[in-house]
Amino acid sequence: MKLMSILMAGVAFSLAGAANAEVRFGIMNEAYPPFFTKDPSGKWIGWEIELMDAVCAEMKETCSIVDMSWDGLIPGLEAKKFDVIWSSMSITDERKKTIDFTDKYYNTPSKLIGAKDGKLGAAADDVADKTIGIQVSTIQSEYYKKYFADKASEQTYATLDEAFQDLAAGRIDYVFGDAIPLAEFLKSDFGKDCCEDKGNVKDDPAILGTGIGGGLRKDDTALRDKLNAAIAAVRASGKYTEISKKYFDFDPYGE
């Protein structure tokens, strides 16, 4: 009986430990306002960080952040350097060949921005003979290959901020990316004088995906289910709306 009591105590301790296990969230190691950026103390802040905190509170889990380069996120997840990609990653069929995703937690179209003296429009003919700046390993890079490659040149960047700098300096004609962070750049002191919104590209869900979700390893179904339940609960409780109103004048969840 004593042995049985010891064994049962061990099982209870293991279950308690599993329930309070740390969940490590992987994000890109560059500012991506309004979703994530570092404050002067070096702490990560932003809409996606506040949503992460709300989801973790709902799951009753301790959570931490691991940051690395954008193109290292999927390899880092697979190498178990963290547990979930929480970094504005679009849910696409191509990525789902490698990783799994939570349900969508926000959505954004893709758009082009460019110099104010340039042509308006976001179709292939509008960008003919121009240079488009695109961050590497993004859905926009794949979209470029299908729709723009025959008309325009591509300049790739490790970070979106580098593309913004070249656009403001006139070294490229457009930046192509997710609409919300591009709109943030246009509101900044750096972007508002030089550049403007050229329009959203025609949607192609096969390339651009079906929204933004958390990326997980294929076998982490229990964590995926916990995250999905927590995301739904945060939306149902009104916490999602409360957080979003700090950053947006619209519902980022979309349709």
20 pLDDT tier (thresholds 50, 70, 90): low
Closest CA to 223 of 98, 130, 85, 127: 85
Indicate if the pLDDT at residue 233 is higher than 60. Answer: yes
Apex 241 CA angle, 236 and 245, nearest 5: 175
Assigned domain for 7 exists: no
Task: Tell me, yes or no, whether 93 and 50 share the same domain.
Answer: yes
Task: Tell me, yes or no, whether 129 and 175 share the same domain.
Answer: yes
Whole-number Å distance between alpha carbons of 37 and 27: 10
pLDDT at 254: 87
Task: Tell me, yes or no, whether 76 and 49 share the same domain.
Answer: yes
Q: Give mean pLDDT, residues 123-151.
A: 97
Q: Count the domains in the chain.
A: 2
Task: Tell me, yes or no, whether 42 and 115 share the same domain.
Answer: no
pLDDT at 179: 96
Indicate if the pLDDT at residue 11 is higher than 50. Answer: no
Q: Give mean pLDDT, residues 179-195.
A: 95
Indicate if the pLDDT at residue 10 is higher than 80. Answer: no
Assigned domain for 234 exists: yes
Assigned domain for 32 exists: yes
Assigned domain for 125 exists: yes
Task: Tell me, yes or no, whether 101 and 167 share the same domain.
Answer: no
Task: Tell me, yes or no, whether 43 and 59 share the same domain.
Answer: yes
Indicate if the pLDDT at residue 95 is higher than 50. Answer: yes
Average pLDDT of the chain, as a whole number = 92
Domain CATH code at residue 174: 3.40.190.10
Proportion of the chain above pLDDT 70, given as a percent? 92
Range from 19-28, 119-128, 192-201 carrying the lowest mean pLDDT? 19-28
Task: Tell me, yes or no, whether 102 and 214 share the same domain.
Answer: yes
Lookup: tokens for 152: 């325009």
Whole-number Å distance between alpha carbons of 199 and 164: 17
